[in-house]
Amino acid sequence: MSWQPHITVATVVEDNGRFLLVEEHAEGRQVFNQPAGHLEANETIGQAALRETLEETGWEVELTAVTGIYLYTAPSNGVTYQRVCFAAKPIAHHTELALDDGIIGPQWLTRDELAAQPERWRSELVLRCIDDYIAGERFSLSLLRD
């Protein structure tokens, strides 16, 4: 049997102490996640993060740094994900865009509002990425080579 991690991207978008989250349906429940998704063929990791953020929230963002690279095995299905998480700043909200299937909509929450609802996290990475961002974890985008 071959083991292959799934490469994913996520963005931590902060505006005045609030973080852009995606409220979505996953595994039969409503959960919060960063704008996140899988790397697709013929795109860079940065392009994937920009695309996923726009498709899931309608927000155009500018990537400013890498917050961290995480390895996570989901207890629900045993799949291992490698997540490259970016810090980003909001540029424009395109309310006319249709969001991806399963997305309820974007939500702006404080860290404390999110922390008070652990049962609604898509995974433990949701709060961890925000905590790393708050702690000042920022690595140059030049860390990534396309």
Distances (CA, A) of 120 to 51, 53, 115, 123: 24, 19, 9, 9
1 domain-assigned: no
67 domain-assigned: yes
pTM over 0.95: no
100 domain-assigned: yes
Whether the Cβ atoms of residue 25 and residue 102 lie closer than 8 Å to each other: yes
Determine the average pLDDT of the residues in 88-115.
96
Give Cα 135 distance to the centre of its chain: 17
Question: What pLDDT was estimated at residue 96?
Answer: 94
What's the CATH number where 49 sits?
Answer: 3.90.79.10
Domain that holds residue 78: 6-143
pLDDT in tens, 108-131: 999 999 999 999 999 999 999 999
pLDDT in tens, 36-63: 999 999 999 999 999 999 999 999 999 9
Question: What pLDDT was estimated at residue 77?
Answer: 85
47 domain-assigned: yes
105 domain-assigned: yes
Total domains present in the chain = 1
The answer, yes or no, to whether residue 3 has pLDDT greater than 80, is: no
